[in-house]
């Protein structure tokens, strides 16, 4: 073969490669540099329609759908990228530091699918979500809810306990598990988790109380209620007077705003849990 013919073949191959990558290059520029999700999405879809089999086309498409808030479409595109080449897709996401971003597509799609009672598809997306964020408890809690719904109690409990193993002292995890069991009408099982949540929320409540009412010899329920009511109603001028006069704290509201907010949240968390405990016993 002559050098001329060989050179022509190389040129044709190069031109062919460039031509086949036009959509991908356009998508990259629009997606990474411009954050123009619509333009990047259109380029990806054009490349896919032409028959290009490239994990990055589907990965970028999934990222665009997340940016546009289309969770189900995002999950479908990202799952396709994984099916083309799981290792390269995972590496691509990891190099971009995008685990949290792309995780959204799978998790929020699973939430929507759960609401639509498409439980098998939701569980599939939860698996992908856990690949991207294995230490996040939210997918495990949702998995437990779905498994309870379809009657697989043993596997549901495994998912819940795995979430607790990841974050055993987190009262929010205990509350969410209790609430999910409550919503699934598993009232007796929910009580244990609500009680665990109360135990940990009470620690936060006692600490917030100790800081906020440190100068008050006898903290009355009325005073605690007044602080929470004024915070909820955003009557900060009145709250400023209470902080200075009744709580005897220097600096007033501005200096103790964070501690007041913590006390309000802790009170609300405790009240909410006690409410569900009472309702669970009522329904048993």
91 occurs within a structural domain: yes
Tens of pLDDT, residues 194-236: 999 999 999 999 999 999 999 988 778 899 999 999 999 999 9
Tens of pLDDT, residues 22-43: 889 999 999 989 999 999 999 9
In this predicted structure, the answer to whether residue 14 has a pLDDT above a threshold of 60 is no
**Tally of domains in the chain:** 1
Per-residue pLDDT, averaged over 243-271, amounts to: 93
CATH number of the domain where residue 44 is located: 1.25.40
**Interhelix angle 252-283/171-183, nearest 10 degrees:** 40
The predicted structure's pLDDT at residue 11: 38
Q: Which residues contact 280 (CB under 8 A, 6 or more apart)?
A: 182, 187, 188, 190, 191, 194
pTM: 0.69
The predicted structure's pLDDT at residue 284: 85
pLDDT band, very low/low/confident/very high, at 5 (cuts 50, 70, 90) = very low
138 occurs within a structural domain: no
Q: Which domain holds residue 53?
A: 22-102
52 occurs within a structural domain: yes
In this predicted structure, the answer to whether residue 2 has a pLDDT above a threshold of 80 is no
94 occurs within a structural domain: yes
223 occurs within a structural domain: no
User: Could you write out the three-class secondary structure of the chain?
Assistant: CCHHHHHHHHHHHHHHHHHHCHHHHHHHHHHHHCCCHHHHHHHHHHHHHCCCCCHHHHHHHHHHHHHCCCHHHHHHHHHHHHHHCHHHHHHHHHHCCCHHHHHHHHHHHHHHHHHCCCHHHHHHHHHHHHHHCCCCCHHHHHHHHHHHHCCCHHHHHHHHHHHHHHCCCCHHHHHHHHHHHHHCCCHHHHHHHHHHHHHHHHHHHHHHHHHHCCCCCCCCHHHHHHHHHHHHCCCHHHHHHHHHHHCCCCCHHHHHHHHHHHHHHHHHHHHHHHHHHHHHHHHC
72 occurs within a structural domain: yes
In this predicted structure, the answer to whether residue 53 has a pLDDT above a threshold of 80 is yes
Mean pLDDT of the chain: 89
Q: Which residues contact 123 (CB under 8 A, 6 or more apart)?
A: 110, 143, 146
39 occurs within a structural domain: yes
């Amino acid at each position: 073969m002559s050098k001329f013919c060989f050179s022509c073949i190389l040129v044709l191959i190069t031109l062919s490669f460039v031509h086949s990558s036009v959509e991908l290059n356009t998508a990259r520029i629009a997606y990474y540099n411009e954050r123009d999700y619509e333009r990047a999405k259109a380029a990806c879809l054009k490349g896919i329609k032409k028959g290009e089999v490239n994990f990055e086309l589907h990965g970028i498409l999934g990222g665009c759908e997340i940016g546009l808030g289309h969770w189900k479409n995002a999950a479908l595109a990202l799952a396709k990228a994984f099916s083309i080449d799981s290792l390269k897709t995972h590496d691509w996401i990891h190099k971009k530091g995008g685990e949290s971003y792309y995780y959204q597509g799978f998790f929020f799609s699973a939430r929507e699918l759960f609401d639509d009672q498409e439980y098998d598809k939701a569980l599939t997306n939860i698996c992908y979500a856990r690949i991207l964020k294995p230490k996040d408890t939210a997918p495990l809690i949702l998995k437990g809810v779905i498994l309870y719904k379809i009657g697989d109690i043993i596997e549901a409990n495994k998912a819940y306990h795995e979430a607790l193993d990841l974050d055993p002292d987190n009262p929010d995890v205990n509350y969410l598990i209790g609430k999910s069991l409550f919503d699934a009408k598993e009232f007796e099982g929910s009580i244990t988790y609500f009680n665990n949540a109360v135990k940990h929320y009470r620690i936060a409540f006692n600490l917030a109380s100790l800081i906020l009412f440190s100068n008050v010899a006898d903290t009355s329920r009325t005073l605690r209620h007044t602080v929470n009511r004024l915070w909820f109603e955003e009557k900060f001028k009145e709250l400023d007077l209470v902080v200075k006069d009744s709580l005897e704290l220097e600096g007033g509201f501005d200096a103790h705003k964070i501690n007041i907010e913590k006390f309000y949240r802790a009170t609300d968390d405790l009240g909410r849990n006690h409410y569900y405990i009472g309702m669970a016993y009522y329904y048993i």
